[in-house]
Structure 1
Amino acid sequence: TPRIGQGIARWVAENRRPYLSPDVRDDPLNVVLFEDMRSNISVPLQYGLQDPSKPDSLLGVLLLESSRVAAFDQQDVELLEALAQEAVIAIQNASQHQKLLAEQEKRLAAEKWAMMGQAATALAHRINNLMGIVPVSARETMRSLAKLETPDSERLWIEGNLERIERNARFVLKLSEALFRPFKHSGPTARLDVNHLLDEALEAADLSEQIEVIRNFEKQLPMVNCSLLLLDIFLELITNARKAMEDQDQRRLQVSTRSDQDDAGLWVVVEIKDTG
């Protein structure tokens, strides 16, 4: 089968011009495609007509054939050129649509990965906060046990359990690190409402009714670009404040937000105070 590099198609591709052959039997450029064809028109499929000399402007060649001699004239050539341009526009639109779909799929995949990374990193942070103290506490309990007079059988039983607790806690910490390591550098930050994050952190902290919580939030606080890990930072600060007030008669937690501006730009200031 003749290709674009042969015959009339090759001439049209090289010259970027239409070609009218009234009788292909007398045309030296003709390569026979069908025995009963007698005349044809060939026009280039190209974009960027302002500079058609660019090699990447050619998409192909559009060929129209007839079994009659001299079936086409110059008006048919112009009509086929117009159709060719419509075809080029359709091809470009389809190609652009495919590119947009591919870019959209990549963007959605990146956003999903970023969300998974933020959630996974936040979970790992919480696991570390909760489990990190367990091995230390187990070791301290074992040291305290050595100072007590305890029957050997009970001492061995307690020490065995403490060692098991410490070993399993360290295993959980290592497992957390291994599972969430791929997400440590997870994608872009998001625009977040600091007041909303603080409300979530206060709710997650599960503060007792004996703690008076005072919220002084500035309304219309600017959104900030940051990671969701900011929620865990707030939660850790509030949890530390709760622990610091455990032995206090007066337990008051004050959380404040305000906007500030200096030469460096606009800032969001968060203050967390307790009576511990």
Structure 2
Amino acid sequence: MAKDGKTREGRLLEAIREVTEGRSLQETLARLLSEALAGVGGELGWIAVVESEGMRVKAVQGASALSPGSLIPFGKGLTGAAYAAGRPYYAPDVSLEKHYWKVSGEVRSEYLVPLTASGETIGILNVESGRVDGFSEDDREYVAALAGLASNAVALARRFEDVSGDLETATLSLAERVHALEAMSEAVRAISGSLDLDTVIRIIIERARDVLGADEAHLLLRGEDGGFALHTSTSLSRGAEVNIEQGVTGWVVRNRKPLCVPDVSLDERYVTWREGTRSELAVPLMDAGELTGVLNFESSRLGAFSAFHEELAETFAGHVAVALKNAALFTGLENARRDLALTEGLRVASEVAADIIHYVGNKAGALPQTLRLLADMLRGRLPADDENLALNLIDLAVKASGEILSIKADVLDTAKPLNPEPVEVAPLVREAASELGGVNVSLNGMSDVKVLGDRHALLRLFANAFDNAMKALAGTPQPRIHISWKQSGGEVDVEIRDNGRGFPEDLLAGGLIPRFGKSGGSSGMGLWLSERIAARMGGRLFIGNVSGGGAYVRVRLPAVTCDSQR
């Protein structure tokens, strides 16, 4: 008999009927707890269900510091002991229990029964009494039977939640996949609708985030020199050179296959690019087996990218690689067409200019001597002030005619046949730099580096470059020129770097043509002539500004190697 006079069998059957009536989990557990306390004469009790952070109280009866929603840590009190052991725990005198956690001043004995399902503890049913040894063996068996009903109720509710959650997730996942596929189709149509490289890159950046639902997307493109330029929709500079030897992207570059990181905090390969990133996905761009770039996606959500997203990103990356290749080919053809037109125009202009220079040069050849004779004739025949003015004007005319003759010599030099031979760089540079004065000149390079070229033409090339640097240093405090050279494979780079005023932006954007010059001097043809000399020897000339002030001229020439000397 129960302590209220009803048979326990009858009360248990009644509890079973109520459990199967379709009540909510909260109502069911509250009903079972009430029955447990009434059946064994307990004054206080609660039922808690296991969650990720601890055990969440679902039902409470009696005066307690606990309430529905309270969280009991896993290791707390006798509850923790019962949970850890996975079996009932009876404390006939709680004052003797070192792990006892006091939530009511009237408790003398306590009985805890784990709720289990499939061998896993999913909760705890607890009954307490104000009497020492307040629960007999029969009482504990009855509470255990009710705990079994509570276990079934919790397990059933969880299965229902799992099925409902799976159904909701499946529905949501299907909708997300449809949206992602539609976004990718729209993006592919957009990037395929243009052959302008800059436009294609911009569209890729704008659409990439939508395809995968990412917070940020980055496109890294490999350049001819093997480096990577970063294009992104964030505040990072578009087209900026970046070092990607490390990080998720670096791993993709080395292994040439996708990498999905659901939690970047747990992956040692991750390197922070953007604060707040929780997950990352990167896929390679491949063209004929060669890696041409990387598409990178970041999200502030954990596990934001699934296997579906990885497959989708790979498909999108394939379209991106093709679109970029087509745009690059078209852009290259357009640039070649413009360059051809410019080259033809320059060829015609150069021929005309050469004829004019040759004609003017011939006429100017006798000018210096004639002007000097005129100066001698005027000396002593004019008032002092008039004589000084006349002599100064004649001096300026002599210098101008000298420059005309120098330009003529430079232009004609570039047309002379070359005599290519192995030339040591170190003594060549030192000879060309020997005329530099009034500046701090430093040299740095290996002594055994040789280039294949015409020594006389090379001296003219470097003399023009040094003259350009000297003019740029005019008015610069503590002027410096640093000359360095190094060999890399079959090429030698000689760089002249100064701390002067730098190249004008329009010159850097438009390239070297005869009418431009860094220094703003009288002819502005020095670097253009140097570029022509380098090209005739199979080399190239590069110009640029230095961060922090100054400029550089870099001459790249064919190196003399063991193979080239055979």
Place the TM-score, normalised by the shorter chain, in its bin: 0.3 to 0.5
- Greater RCO, CA 8 A, separation 6+: 1
- Structure number, greater radius of gyration: 2
Q: What TM-score, normalized to structure 2?
A: 0.21
| Higher percent of residues as helix | 1
Q: What TM-score, normalized to structure 1?
A: 0.38
